[in-house]
Amino acid sequence: MLIMLLISPNFSDLFKPNIEIKAFPDGDLYVRIPEIKQCAGEDVILLHRLYPDQNTSILTLFMLLDTLRRVGARVTLVSPYLPYSRQDKTFLEGEALSAQVLCSMIASFGVRELITLDCHFLKKEGEIEYAGLKIRNISANHALIEHGRSKIGIEEPFEVISPDQGAGYLVSDFGGKTMEKVRGEYEKGDTAYRKIEKLERNFEIAGKNVLIIDDMISTGTTMIKAIENIKSGGAKKVLCAATHGFFMKDSLHRIRTSADIVFTTNSIVNPVSEVDISKLLSSVIPELKK
């Protein structure tokens, strides 16, 4: 059986692209799949990142999916980071359920399955159906922990810790412990960000090396509070890792200043995206093995 691999230009750091994405002079997107004939009626694996420029990347995705639907292709979508995944619940009346909006729209194009990494709202690995979309959530936790080991050295064992309950599944297989994060109201202003009221730890880490793992680092507030807490508890060395690293504003610098080691996967490319997701993806999609 023929399985077509379609690679978006935003995956070109890992695989050779075969999709054209340009813009018309006025900024409208132009999308073309040159090998569309080979996709007709076939199974297609489409690799397309949805970050950075998430809104444009999402529209690009819809254009790709529509093009494939018109020739009857059966699509498996691979997007390592799923944007809007933090808005799967409402906090204030009248808020959009953005995660549902995005997933149901992807499903409406007939996508058979979305393969993604450490999707924020799923909080576990495996196959799940959400808003009509079949999702296979793969965790980068093993790869991150292995990388942490290679960085700190085998003679320096470490504890793995998650900074909040939602990321607990990332460390539970390794006997890891979880801190408790309590969020408060939205901050004032145009940025929708709910303050972190407290980050509590009810276990000892004095004298130990600690690797803090989260699904994502965005503003860095969670990670910096976690580092401060761990250090004040007398930890020896502090390593920080996340599957998805956005590092908004100067957060990477601030984290680097307070922790000994920081790294992420390259689901989102950033200056410390050291853990290569192509191995992880190839382990579930054999067609990707070069």
Q: Which residues are at the interface with ligand R5P (CB under 6 A)?
A: 86, 163-164, 166-167, 214-223
| DSSP character string of the chain | --EEEEE-GGGTTTS----EEEE-TTS-EEEE-TTHHHHTTSEEEEE----SSHHHHHHHHHHHHHHHHHTT-EEEEE-SS-TTTT-SS-SSTT---HHHHHHHHHHHTT--EEEEES-TTT-SSEEEEETTEEEEEE--HHHHHHHHHHHH-TTS-EEEEESSGGGHHHHHTTT-EE-EEEEEEEPSSSS--EEEEEEE--S--TT-EEEEEEEEESSSHHHHHHHHHHHHTT-S-EEEEEEEE---TTHHHHHHHHSSEEEEETTS--TTEEE-HHHHHHHH-GGG--
Residue 236 Cβ vs ligand R5P, minimum distance, rounded to whole Å: 23
- First-to-last alpha carbon distance for the chain, in angstroms, is 18
Residue nearer to ligand R5P on the CB measure, 4 or 160: 160
148 vs 163, beta carbon nearer ligand R5P: 163
Cβ-based nearer residue to ligand R5P, 33 or 171: 171
In the bound complex, what is the minimum distance in angstroms from residue 100's beta carbon to ligand R5P?
A: 18
Q: Residue 157 or residue 184: which is nearer to ligand R5P going by CB?
A: 184
**Least distance (Å) from ligand R5P to the CB of residue 39?**
36
Distances (CA, A) of 74 to 6, 9, 36, 187: 12, 21, 12, 43
- Give the nearest distance from C-beta 93 to ligand R5P in angstroms: 22
Instruction: Write down the least CB distance from residue 24 to ligand R5P, Å.
Output: 35
Our CB check for ligand R5P shows the closer of 107 and 215 to be 215
In whole angstroms, the minimum distance from the beta carbon of 219 to ligand R5P comes to 3
Q: Which is nearer to ligand R5P, 52 or 166 (CB)?
A: 166
- Beta carbon of residue 217, minimum distance to ligand R5P (angstroms, whole number): 5
| Cβ proximity to ligand R5P, 61 vs 167, nearer residue | 167
